[in-house]
């Protein structure tokens, strides 16, 4: 996944009050869509230090924290150990480089991850293959923002365009909405965030 080297460097200082707050807002937005999933398995895709997934542990039977950064995964492992969390696992893996044919889950959620992925359609296709029939992918990310100019991340996403890409892959019952506005939260710019829910 893109920018892994940068995340490796900031893993131990990643959990700022602002990121913790936005992660809670993101988890609350995801929770609105998952219903009763206490018998279901989930992946926190591009989990970082696990800020979003840690808020959702009670909502699922189990959560796999997956990231391309070994240092980020180590931060998650420390939290698992410190809090003696049982219903979790961790995996350092890059879906942009290879597939995991034996991995299948009911839910995948990803928060502020898609903007770091170079080939969005390719990775969303691989995640489609990981979902069980009837499974759901939930995406939290930034709305398209013309004030953000970057060589290393997308400047957000148009919800309609993203829906079209996902429909082409095979996702269905796609719905999305903007749920959060913040000051200077995206590359130093004021920005809004959306949640998108989709089914396989």
Q: What is the pLDDT of residue 15?
A: 76
Give the global pTM.
0.93
**69-92 residue pLDDT tens:** 999 999 999 999 999 999 999 999
Q: pLDDT band at 100, cuts 50/70/90?
A: confident
Nearest-angstrom CA–CA distance, 73 and 57: 16
**pLDDT tens-digit readout, 134-159:** 999 999 999 999 999 999 999 999 99
Task: Write the Ramachandran bin of 167: left for phi over 0, alpha for psi from -120 to 50, otherwise beta.
Answer: alpha
Give percent of the chain above pLDDT 90: 86
In this predicted structure, the answer to whether residue 11 has a pLDDT above a threshold of 90 is no
Domain residue ranges in the chain: 4-199
Structural contact between residues 153 and 144, judged by C-beta atoms closer than 8 angstroms: no
Does 10 score more than 80 pLDDT? no
Domain made up of 4-199: CATH architecture: 3-Layer(aba) Sandwich (3.40)
Question: Residue 133: how many CB atoms within 10 A of its CB?
Answer: 8
pLDDT beyond 90 at 6 = no
Structure tokens at 143: 């709305």
Contact 184, 18 (CB under 8 A): no
- State how far the Cα of 194 lies from the Cα of 121, in Å rounded to an integer: 18
Task: For Cα atoms 184, 177, 88, give the angle at the middle one, nearest 5 degrees.
Answer: 80
pLDDT-derived band at 2 (thresholds 50, 70, 90) equals: low
**Is 160 buried (19+), middle (13-18) or exposed (0-12) by CB count in 10 A?**
exposed
Q: Which region, left, alpha or beta, applies to residue 144 given φ > 0 means left and ψ of -120 to 50 means alpha? A: beta
């Amino acid at each position: 996944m893109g920018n892994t080297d940068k995340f490796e460097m900031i893993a131990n200082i990643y959990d700022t009050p602002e990121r913790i707050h936005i992660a809670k807002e993101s988890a609350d937005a995801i929770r609105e869509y998952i219903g009763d999933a206490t018998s279901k398995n989930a992946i926190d895709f591009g989990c970082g230090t696990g800020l979003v997934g840690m808020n959702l542990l009670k909502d699922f039977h189990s959560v796999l924290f997956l990231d391309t950064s070994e240092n980020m995964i180590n931060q998650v492992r420390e939290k698992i150990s410190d809090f003696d969390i049982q219903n979790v696992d961790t995996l350092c893996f890059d879906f942009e480089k290879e597939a995991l044919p034996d991995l299948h889950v009911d839910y995948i959620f990803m928060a502020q991850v898609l903007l770091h992925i170079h080939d969005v359609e390719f990775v969303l296709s691989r995640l489609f293959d990981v979902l069980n029939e009837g499974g759901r992918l939930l995406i939290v990310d930034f709305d398209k923002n013309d004030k953000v100019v970057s060589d290393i991340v997308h400047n957000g996403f148009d919800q309609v365009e993203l829906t079209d890409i996902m429909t082409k892959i095979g996702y269905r019952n796609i719905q999305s909405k903007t749920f959060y506005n913040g000051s200077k939260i995206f590359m130093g710019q004021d920005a809004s965030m959306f949640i998108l829910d989709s089914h396989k």
